[in-house]
Amino acid sequence: MNSVIELEGLAIDLGGRRILDDLRCTLSARTIGLLGPNGAGKSTLINALLGFHKPAAGTARIFGHDVRSGIRQIRNLTGYMPENDAFVARMSAVSYVQLMGELSGLPPEAALERAHEALFHVGLGEARYRQLGTYSLGMRQLAKLAQAIAHGPKLLILDEPTNGLDPPARQRMIRLISEMRESGDLHIILCSHLLRDVEETCEEVLILKQGRIVHYANLEEERRANRKFIEMETVGANGTFTGDIEKLGCACAVTGNNRIKLVLSEGVAIRDLYRVAADRNVQIRRLNYRRDSLEDIFLKAMESELAVKGNANGRL
């Protein structure tokens, strides 16, 4: 698969401080999540990808275009929804989105048509002639999304798109992002500190902390791998039962209170476990796939970073 973003030792200095340091990775999924606590450098990374900050070292590429030399091509291909309020004063939503479409290179007629289309798509169709200044926070978020997609970008960068939204508005935003992902026409980078938003929409996740990459996760693969880990609560299980399961080729461990953790091997299905249990008169009271949620992944990444720091401190 062609890479969407390549980071090659990217470092960014701001105000004499190193904000991002030696970022290296290749991301190619349709939806990419940037996760991290506040101040981790997520927005700085986005700003660097858009050419707002010049790299102090290394470089980054989007669809093969280098941020140092091909920023205009990158901006041609991207749509950006910033984190903060950003609108043009004393302008209706349709004029605002049309203006942004034209600045991206659309002819006026096409920009106007796509402005109407984008505003209907995000759910502001009925309010599109209203002044932006009269919009609520949620509506302004949607207007920002509309201006980001009006020119049909190949890469949509969303910086904290659900900030300040109430639960129904948040759900709507997540649904819109998922719909656009399904359209197959564009890649999405979603920057958020809300794990649920990223988990619901993203396939790849990059976790940042203090300007460094602390973890990369391919959520699709994680989800597939999770299907192999099973936890069972049984009644009547004994050594023979676990022995029979191991004979199927599954790794198995008894954790006490009749709880068994096992890893399914290739070709072994759940029904095989029920068959073995029936043969040995064992009741399976509960059977769960282990769910290594994004929260687990995130916390592990944060903990491992702390452990690394702790060791370093110990050495000092």
Task: Please give the residue ranges that form the binding site for another protein (CB under 8 A).
Answer: 14-16, 47, 50, 52-53, 72, 75-76, 78, 80, 82, 84-91, 95, 99-100, 102-107, 110, 113-114, 116-117, 120-121, 125, 147, 149, 151-154, 179-180, 183, 185-186
Q: What whole-number distance in Å separates Cα of residue 163 and Cα of residue 134? A: 19
Question: From the CB of 40, what's the least distance to another protein, in Å?
Answer: 17
User: Which CB atom, from 80 or from 241, has the smaller least distance to another protein?
Assistant: 80
Question: From the CB of 112, what's the least distance to another protein, in Å?
Answer: 10
Question: From the CB of 157, what's the least distance to another protein, in Å?
Answer: 8
- Residue ranges with strand state E in 247-314: 251-256, 259-263, 283-289
User: Which CB atom, from 58 or from 152, has the smaller least distance to another protein?
Assistant: 152
CA angle 71, 72, 75 (to 5 degrees): 85
User: Which CB atom, from 179 or from 246, has the smaller least distance to another protein?
Assistant: 179
Q: Of 49, 51, 50, 52, nearest to 23 (Cα)?
A: 49
Q: What whole-number distance in Å separates Cα of residue 194 and Cα of residue 133? A: 27
Question: From the CB of 279, what's the least distance to another protein, in Å?
Answer: 52
Q: What whole-number distance in Å separates Cα of residue 136 and Cα of residue 53? A: 31
Long-range pairs of 274-277 with CB within 8 A, sequence gap ≥ 24? 276/241, 276/244, 276/245, 276/248, 277/234, 277/241
User: Which CB atom, from 57 or from 91, has the smaller least distance to another protein?
Assistant: 91
Question: From the CB of 76, what's the least distance to another protein, in Å?
Answer: 5
Asked if residues 81 and 157 have their Cβ atoms less than 8 Å apart, the reply is yes
User: Which CB atom, from 86 or from 307, has the smaller least distance to another protein?
Assistant: 86
Question: From the CB of 68, what's the least distance to another protein, in Å?
Answer: 16
| Backbone φ, ψ for residue 122 (5° rounding) | -85, -5
Question: From the CB of 13, what's the least distance to another protein, in Å?
Answer: 10
Q: What whole-number distance in Å separates Cα of residue 203 and Cα of residue 223? A: 10
Q: What whole-number distance in Å separates Cα of residue 22 and Cα of residue 37? A: 18
Query: Is 10 exposed, middle or buried (CB count within 10 Å of its CB: 0-12, 13-18, 19+)?
Result: buried
Question: From the CB of 253, what's the least distance to another protein, in Å?
Answer: 47
User: Which CB atom, from 180 or from 284, has the smaller least distance to another protein?
Assistant: 180
Asked if residues 194 and 287 have their Cβ atoms less than 8 Å apart, the reply is no
User: Which CB atom, from 114 or from 215, has the smaller least distance to another protein?
Assistant: 114
User: Which CB atom, from 50 or from 194, has the smaller least distance to another protein?
Assistant: 50
> What does the DSSP 8-state code read for residue 122?
H
